[in-house]
A = this chain, B = another copy of it.
Amino acid sequence: MNPDDARLLATLIRKERIAHLATLRDGVPMASMTLYLPAPDFSAFYVHVSRLAWHTQDMQRDGHVALSIAETDDRRADPFRLMRVSIRGTASVFSDEDSEIRNAYLAKYPEQAINFTLADFSFWRIEPKDARFIAGFGRIHNVSAEELKRVAG
């Protein structure tokens, strides 16, 4: 990937707050909104979810997931030009013993503090296998997990 698009991808991942999480449910694809926190080196993506949420139940059964993150719709004339990235990976439940992830998550989402007092919420860690970044028309990049770390800078 050229350095300009690499910078755009890093900014997209760090700036946005909303991801749509694809999971397998009853053998077919499901997608639902979640919040996410990227590790500083993009080696992992964390979601803090309730056991009551369908996607959590899905991940408990099958850790194969994908995260889709798009630039916020600014009502530009052509929304097809919004940048977006799909990250495929494997999710596993993550116990935040040292609170580093928790602190970073709360710095990004301070209003989520209440959910850390609820027993049914836990972190899941999604380890990327690869990503597909659409920076613009004809600017499509398939990105390995290793290249994603280089993109993080």
Please give the residue numbers on chain A whose beta carbons come within 8 Å of chain B beta carbons, in ascending order. Answer: 16-18, 20-24, 28-33, 35, 54, 64-68, 70, 72-73, 77-80, 82, 84, 86, 88, 109-112, 132, 134
Number of copies: 2
Contact A18 to B112, CB < 8 A, known contacts A65-B29, A68-B32, A86-B32: no
Contact indicator B109/A32 (Cβ below 8 Å): no
A98 → chain B closest CB, angstroms: 24
Contact indicator B31/A68 (Cβ below 8 Å): yes
Which residues of B have CB within 8 Å of A84? 32-33
Contact indicator A80/B112 (Cβ below 8 Å): yes
Contact indicator A29/B29 (Cβ below 8 Å): yes
Pick the most buried of A28, A54, A73: most chain B CB atoms within 10 A of its CB.
A28
Give Cα A88–Cα B25 distance, bound, in whole angstroms.
10
Which residues of B have CB within 8 Å of A22? 20, 22-23, 29-31, 66
Pick the most buried of A24, A32, A78: most chain B CB atoms within 10 A of its CB.
A32
A28 → chain B closest CB, angstroms: 4
Which residues of B have CB within 8 Å of A65? 29
